[in-house]
């Protein structure tokens, strides 16, 4: 074990998402800066010459409120605290949204989620081992509620006589649990910053393997939420059949609840969800202890199970299918290795201890239940779960039975919660590597990755609605994603030990290799034996997800290349100091977007006007005040229109050159845009700024009454290189509230 | 009759929508111009100093295409033809939409509607009397297909014995037709530019009366389209029952067809629709001639009708209801007075001749059918229309019978067409008076008021879908709107003659007064007798429409007041030369939006940056090139983020002052906006331009990957007075198509 890893701080801060600048970049910036300074000469911009103090120290009287809302809720200007020259701190007052709707939503969010948490609170938001076990293991631990049953359902197809096989198969699954657990202990040590399958696979098996693991996990997380919530609702509606027509509503409500809890932040949701997890664990351990105690008193006598007819012959395939089904008890094991950054420091060590505890509990509970089921001679029934039979058999149908049933229902629902902490983290890592939109990098104001949480909630709720709350058909697809990720993760670790030969590799490699082999075998068994039951959906979905992720990355890569700084070049003699990579090797005309030093920009300002009223005059004044060449444009739909505008213009004294575009077909936007394009064709070196006079309306429906032309001009012109679009709003707010 | 009216040209050009500048405005502009010239001093802008020839003469080489699309379809630069210095003409090449989607739609529209028509073609697009009779009278003429029947259905409630009353009631309706016709002849003479009820009522009875008439007509037009199309579909599905499940689709398809024909322009749709109208008229006249001929040979003997039991007592109310129902034969009479501008010059005279013809045809057809129905002893039946019975009785069920049925079906559908020429015109007049959005002023490229046509089509189709094609329930509401408009229009004319006493007033006044009285009586009868059958909907709807129209006008009036020029004022000593009316009487600080001369604008340019890459540098270069004070802003979510940006900045040589906003809650947009607002509070005189670096993406789905912050900054900042928002797009198009 390398000592360096142990002490390394693991802090997943918001800026962990971005790389530091490279030396090459800094060097390029130096050259660019020199070029700017050179062309600007003495007209260098300085802080002292700004018309306002940017640190907001010693500012004057506040403006009067501009809207009704501002009159009601006076804005506290105290939001900004000067920290040092050039830096102000946006305190809580400064993050209140500026728009009215935004404030309402903000207040609602505060009421629901609590006050925002500063980044410095990030370490306090970490999980203790006790809470982490609850948050990150509920999925894994809840699996014991159905693992044994899933195995037996397959076995009894060959008749009651085959039931004794449940013990060796159960033992095989326990062995697999121990191997996978030991494997993940190796992974945690090697990846103390979080070793999700995506990271391990990408790191050691290549990007594509990482994407396969990520896609598998994404399907798995969504299914976990949908299936476990549907199971929880089914438990509620079996108890209260009157609620059955509300199945979908209850499910969506439940998802909204888990969503809100997770948006409150990981620690709060952890505390909230710890109780049911431990209640379930306590109930299971009690059940096993009492059951085994009684079995010991009975001299380990096996109660003969009821005789069931065989519908299938016993063969190796049936045993394999039983094994594959029983492996559903293993879903969720990877959560702790994924979630290392959520632990308190030292993160990796705490994570590993928690993993050991979880595997321990899992093994004890799974083997206990499997053994008791065998001893009590229980067989799967269509109207009662094995766990319910077992609890009834052990405790009778009293208070303890009710407790076991309630705790089971709750933890099945809470299995969804594990996905809510893993899915956003996976999206964060994908976004960091540019496979997902950058918005998943954003840590919300409660220090949770809110966007990922929201996406998971919405997709799972959509699935629930689409399947009308009957997601039982999805269970078949459920374990595939997990075993894809197990297999790739363990294979990755095996390759890693072999390549790097770090301290302890000789001990770790065989563990991971065994884990990989076994997981891969299970994956194959599941995929083959369940293909027609629905596994084909996953087999189709995963390539689709991978394609989407790859296209996102492709796009971001193109943007990054285009936006990257490039060495200055003097080939063309005078202008293009910086150029996008696309231009390297071309070296022709300097198009405006390659001209990056201020004095190299050649301007033309264009102002479309319809009439010479106050908004138009304000836009013209703004344009003229820039000190650049200005041309006013008017599209005249007939001669009278043209005459009218000329009259206005000459009364005004022709302050700005005016060009009339006669539009005999009465079209306005297209000729305007085509005219600007025609000027650009004639003068490709020009940067044309279109200054649009716009009416800033206060009510949404008023938008229909104005600015149709401005809006279309803006969205169209924006698409052409060498154009800049400026909106000069003219406000009515004060006016519209006066008599 | 005043001779001046006769020769006055009536041209409804696109610019007829806008008023010419007033002398006061021109005077104000003169003062403003002088103030500008004074503050600008020698730095006056001139055409000669522009970097490009605005007339586009002698321009250089064209730019290479920037998109895949441009490579395929080379843009013809020849679109602009210089007309004289300061004017270019946008020929057909220049109106091709600039965006790719736009071009596809443009091509589709050309294929569907034909080439665009220049404004100069407006007179050629006028209707000859023969075509106008078809276009503007199909609604009125089609009414005879159901008028007699509607009357008889009420009458027979009192038993067969009452049927002879149909002749005097029919005579009363014919008298009413003649009076209303004569009334409208007066209106056409007084309003040679188009005398729809809205105009006549607003002019003479006040704005509110005009709005009532407009609202009544609007409901009527929509109902006309929905009901007549539904009737047409019903005729088709009775002939071909297999099509019944497609009722809604057929109806919507029929509306789409009429819509497309009307968008092609008034003349083309007129020619298209003239044939069925004349076919119907010919069929009716033949039917009446043959019927009367045979009746004459039979010695005017009345066939005794089948005995029907009386379900209601004969009383004055029943007679009134029969009369009111029969008045549905009068819908559509107003169309010609509304549509005067669509006629060839001399418009009003042609319109009046056409009106006379229409009334003549209407009277002949209605009285002929009513008389023959009485002579043949026909009674309404639930499974066959009166007209069908009459045709079968007269011609036998052969080819001529089929012809009559087909022509009737067609003209019932075409009644919708009249609404399509009246409704957009009504919206045009409303928009001219600022009661409707200005987009209804726009004459489409086929010289039709496309927006109004589209709205009518969409609303009527919506009604058809909402009622699942069974709009028979709406028929009850149908005549109210028409009689509201008749009554208000004739009352308005009466008041007008009384007030103005123009030539011939003494003859015209009694005609209009009689028309008003009779129409008003019918309106009352209909409203009372049909209130519970659905007339209450219209009674509710009309005030709602009026409220909407009034609110639109209120908003436009506020905007106009705010945007209006105001006399310069030197009270405050130095700055606000122009100010919105809201500021008059306040006279305090000069807020930026009142400072209208270029040299009075105090600038601060703010550039939000996330990283120093090419898009950010381009935005910074753009900002600096304006020669104004520039401040770069960065929201840092943690210390490392801040450190990173400072490193980049100092490598670059601090070319632009940078302010870091530390955001401990990781919020980006709100602190940025609040910071700009805080500077504005401290320096209310500043106009703050925010220069946003944005990635201009080529695919729609890429938008999800970028610019979230820029978009939110733009839409939020835009709402504050004294802010200007500039987008500096950075384009990838060329990049993304390279390997």
Condensed to tens digits (0 to 9), the pLDDT of residues B545-556 reads 999 999 999 988
Mean of pLDDT values over A183-191: 88
- The pLDDT tens digits for A451-475 are 999 999 999 999 888 888 776 667 6
- For residues A523 and A408, the answer to whether their CB atoms sit within 8 Å is no
Cβ distance of B731 and A721 shorter than 8 Å: yes
Whether the per-residue pLDDT at B121 is higher than 70: the answer is yes
List, for residues A48-95, the tens digit of each pLDDT value. 888 888 887 754 444 455 554 444 434 445 578 787 888 888 887 788
State how far the Cα of A114 lies from the Cα of A106, in Å rounded to an integer.
Answer: 11
Q: What distance in Å separates residue A697's CA from the closest CA in chain B?
A: 8
Q: Is residue A196 within 8 Å of A338, Cβ to Cβ?
A: yes
Burial of residue B293 (number of CB atoms within 10 Å: 0-12, 13-18, 19+): exposed
Q: Which of residues 607-626 of B touch A (CB under 8 A)?
A: 611-615, 617-618, 621-622, 624-626
Nearest CB to B665 within list A116, A562, A670: A116
What CA–CA distance (Å, rounded) separates A242 from A323? 38
Residue B456 has pLDDT above 90, yes or no: yes
CA distance B634 to chain A (A): 10
Nearest alpha carbon to residue B667 among A368, A383, A106, A34 = A106
pLDDT band at B577 (very low <50, low <70, confident <90, very high): very low
Q: In A242-385, which residue ranges form alpha helices assigned H by DSSP?
A: 247-263, 266-297, 316-326, 335-338, 347-375
Residues 709-738 (B) with a CB less than 8 A from some CB of A: 714, 716, 718-721, 723-736, 738
Distance (Å, whole) CA A116 – CA A410: 29
Contact B90 A675 (CB under 8 A): yes
Task: Determine which of A275-284, A372-381, B323-332 has the lowest per-residue pLDDT on average.
Answer: B323-332
What tokens appear for A146 in the block?
A: 């159905």
Question: What size, in residues, is chain A?
Answer: 739
pLDDT of residue B522: 86
> What is the mean predicted confidence (pLDDT) over B11-39?
77
- For residue B93, the 8-state DSSP code is G
The pTM assigned to this predicted structure is 0.81
∠A711-A714-A720 over CA atoms, to 5°? 150
Residues of chain B neighbouring A63 (CB-CB closer than 8 A): 680-681, 684
Query: Taking CA atoms, what residue in B is nearest to A32?
Result: B652
Tell me, what's the ipTM?
0.83
Pairwise CA distance, residues B28 & A652, whole Å: 8
- Select from B578, B714, B730 the Cβ nearest to the Cβ of A563: B730
Give me the residue label for tokens 């009215």. Answer: A100
- Each residue's pLDDT tens digit, A396-417: 888 998 898 889 888 888 888 8
pLDDT > 70? residue B643: yes
Cβ neighbours of B715 (radius 10 Å): 12
Nearest CB to A661: which of B90, B438, B695? B90
Question: Nearest CA to B685 among A736, A620, A52?
Answer: A52
**pLDDT score for B212:** 94
Q: Which helix (H) or strand (E) holds A630?
A: strand A630-636
Assign A229 to helix, strand or coil.
helix
Mean pLDDT of chain B: 81
Q: Is the pLDDT of residue B281 over 90?
A: yes
* d(C-alpha A293, C-alpha A399), whole Å: 20
What phi, psi does B680 have (nearest 5°)? -65, -35
- Whether residue A119 and residue B664 make contact (CB cut-off 8 A), yes or no, is yes
Whether B719 and A696 lie within 8 Å, measured CB to CB = yes
Say which of A45, A614, A727 has its CB closest to residue B565.
A614
Say what the pLDDT of residue A15 is. 61
Alpha carbons within 13 A on the beta-carbon side of B646: 14
List the single best residue of B627, B719, B722, B739 to mutate versus A (max A Cβ within 10 A).
B719
Residue B8 has pLDDT above 50, yes or no: no
Residue B17: per-residue pLDDT: 61
Helix or strand or coil: residue B708? helix
Phi and psi angles of residue B602, each rounded to the nearest 5 degrees, phi first: -105, 125
Q: What is the phi/psi pair of residue A633, to 5°?
A: -125, 140
More reliable by pLDDT, B329 or A492: A492
> What would the mean pLDDT of B240-247 be, rounded to a whole number?
83
% of chain B exceeding 90 in pLDDT: 21
- Preferred mutation among A117, A682, A700 to probe B, highest tally of B CBs within 10 A: A682
A509 has pLDDT over 60? yes
Do A718 and B730 count as a contact with CB atoms less than 8 A apart? Answer: no
* Contact indicator for B550, B436 with CB cutoff of 8 Å: no
Residues of A in contact with B107 (CB under 8 A): none
- B90-109 residues touching A, CB cutoff 8 A: 90-92, 94-99, 102
| pLDDT score for B12 | 55
- Nearest residue of A to residue B43 by CA position? A627
User: Residues of chain A with pLDDT > 90: what percent?
Assistant: 21
pLDDT, one tens digit per residue, over B194-236 is 778 898 999 899 999 999 999 998 998 998 898 888 888 887 7
Helix (H), strand (E), coil (C) string for A415-460 = HHHHHHHHHHHHHHHHHHCCCCCHHHHCCCCCCCCHHHHHHHHHHH
Q: Whole-angstrom Cα distance, residue B491 to residue B206?
A: 12
Nearest-CA distance A109 → chain B (Å)? 14
Residues in B 635-694 with any Cβ partner in A closer than 8 A: 635, 637-638, 640-642, 644, 647-648, 651-667, 669-671, 673-675, 677-684, 686-687, 689, 694
Q: Is the pLDDT of residue A577 over 50?
A: no
Q: What gap in Å lies between CA A226 and CA A350, rounded to an integer?
A: 30
> Which pLDDT does position A596 carry in this prediction?
66
Work out the pLDDT band at A594, boundaries 50, 70, 90. Answer: low
pLDDT at res. A571: 44
Cβ contact A599–B33 (<8 Å):
no
Distance CA A633, CA A640 (A): 16
Q: Compare A732 and A352 and report the one with higher pLDDT.
A: A352
């Amino acid at each position: 074990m390398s000592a360096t890893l142990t002490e390394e701080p693991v802090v997943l801060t918001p800026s962990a998402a971005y790389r530091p600048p490279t030396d090459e970049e800094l060097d390029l910036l130096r050259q660019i800066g020199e070029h700017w300074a050179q062309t600007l000469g003495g007209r260098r911009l300085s802080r002292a010459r700004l018309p306002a103090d940017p640190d907001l120290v010693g500012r004057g009287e506040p403006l009067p409120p501009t809207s009704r809302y501002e009159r009601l809720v006076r804005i506290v200007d105290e939001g900004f605290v000067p920290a040092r020259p050039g830096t102000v701190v946006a305190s809580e007052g400064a993050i209140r949204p500026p728009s009215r709707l935004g404030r309402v939503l903000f207040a609602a969010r505060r009421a629901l989620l609590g006050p925002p948490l500063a980044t410095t609170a990030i370490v306090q938001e970490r999980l203790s081992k006790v809470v982490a076990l609850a948050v990150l293991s509920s999925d894994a631990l809840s699996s014991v509620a159905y693992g044994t049953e899933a195995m037996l359902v397959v076995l009894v197809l060959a008749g009651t006589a085959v039931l004794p096989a449940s013990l060796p198969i159960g033992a095989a699954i326990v062995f697999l649990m121990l191997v996978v657990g030991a494997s993940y202990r190796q992974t945690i040590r090697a990846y103390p910053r979080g070793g999700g399958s995506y990271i391990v696979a990408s790191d050691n098996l290549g990007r594509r393997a990482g994407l396969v693991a990520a896609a598998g996990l994404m399907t798995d997380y969504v299914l976990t939420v949908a299936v476990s919530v549907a199971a929880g609702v089914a438990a509620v509606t079996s108890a209260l059949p009157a609620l059955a027509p509300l199945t979908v509503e209850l499910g969506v409500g439940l998802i909204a609840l888990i969503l809100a809890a997770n948006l409150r932040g990981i620690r709060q949701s952890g505390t909230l969800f710890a109780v049911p997890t431990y209640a379930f664990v306590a109930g299971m351990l009690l059940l096993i202890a009492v059951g085994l105690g009684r079995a010991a008193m009975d001299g380990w006598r096996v109660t003969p199970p009821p005789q069931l007819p065989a519908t299938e012959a016993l063969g190796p395939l049936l045993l394999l299918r039983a094994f594959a089904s029983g492996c559903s008890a293993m879903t969720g094991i990877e959560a702790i290795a994924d979630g290392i950054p959520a632990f308190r420091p030292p993160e990796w060590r705490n994570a590993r201890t928690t993993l050991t505890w979880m595997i321990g509990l899992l093994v004890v509970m799974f083997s206990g239940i499997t053994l008791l089921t065998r001893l009590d001679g229980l067989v799967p029934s269509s109207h009662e779960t094995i766990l319910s039979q077992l609890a009834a058999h052990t405790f009778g149908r009293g208070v303890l039975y009710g407790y076991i049933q309630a705790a089971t229902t709750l933890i099945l629902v809470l299995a969804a919660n594990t996905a809510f902490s893993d899915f956003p983290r996976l999206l964060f890592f994908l976004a960091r590597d540019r496979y997902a939109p950058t918005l998943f990098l954003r840590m919300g104001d409660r220090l949770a990755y809110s966007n990922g949480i929201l996406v998971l909630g919405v997709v799972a709720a959509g699935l629930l609605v689409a399947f009308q709350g009957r997601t039982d058909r999805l269970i078949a697809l459920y374990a595939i994603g997990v075993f894809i990720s197990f297999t790739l993760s363990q294979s990755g670790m095996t390759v890693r030990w072999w390549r790097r030969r770090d301290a302890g590799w000789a001990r770790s490699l065989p563990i991971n290799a065994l884990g990989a082999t076994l997981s891969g075998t299970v994956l194959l068994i599941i995929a083959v034996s369940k293909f027609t039951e629905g596994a084909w959906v996953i087999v189709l979905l995963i390539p689709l997800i991978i394609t989407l992720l790859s296209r996102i990355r492709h796009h971001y890569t193109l943007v990054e290349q285009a936006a990257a700084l490039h060495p200055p070049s003097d080939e063309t003699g005078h202008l293009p100091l910086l150029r996008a990579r696309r231009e390297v090797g071309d070296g022709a005309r300097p198009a405006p977007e390659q001209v990056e030093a201020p004095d190299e920009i050649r301007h033309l300002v264009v102002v479309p006007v319809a009439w010479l009223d106050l908004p138009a005059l304000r836009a013209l004044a703004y344009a003229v005040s820039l000190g650049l060449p200005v041309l006013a444009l008017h599209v005249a739909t007939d001669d009278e229109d043209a005459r009218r505008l000329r009259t206005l213009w000459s009364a005004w004294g022709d302050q700005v050159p005016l060009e009339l575009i006669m539009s005999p077909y009465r079209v306005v936007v297209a000729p305007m845009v085509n005219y600007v394009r025609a000027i650009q064709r004639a003068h490709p070196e020009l940067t044309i700024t279109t200054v649009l006079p716009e009416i800033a309306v206060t009510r949404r429906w008023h938008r229909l009454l104005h600015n149709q032309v401005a809006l279309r001009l803006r969205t169209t012109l924006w698409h052409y290189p060498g154009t800049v679009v400026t909106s000069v709003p003219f406000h009515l707010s004060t006016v519209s509230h006066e008599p």
